[in-house]
Amino acid sequence: MAILYFLGEEPFRNDQQQDCCLIVEVHALDWIQDELIRLAAEEAIDQNFGQRLELWSADEEEATHYLQADPAATRGSLMLGSGAPLFWHLLPIG
């Protein structure tokens, strides 16, 4: 199993209309191409939150750096069509 991390290319609006950094973590089978996982994650974010944005690949160190900066970030999870779990994190900017 591989864990892939993605960052939103632009600020993501939370329920309070605050600009946030979106971090996405997907646990997927090793044989699934990273690009397909990224596209599925973008689609899941759009379908569940009504916000279309491009996700950029990040490594675990970069994602962890952001997540440690704000342990009180809003978090949740979704399931991709392939059954892979997607965990999202919203960290307010500024």
Predicted pLDDT of residue 29: 82
Per the prediction, the chain carries an average pLDDT of: 89
Distance, C-alpha 83 to centroid of its chain: 16
Give the pLDDT band (50/70/90) at residue 72.
confident
How confident is the model over 11-39, as pLDDT tens digits?
988 888 889 999 999 998 878 788 999 99
pTM over 0.85: yes
Integer Cα distance of 38 and 12 in angstroms? 17
Task: Check if the beta carbon of residue 73 is closer than 8 Å to that of residue 67.
Answer: yes
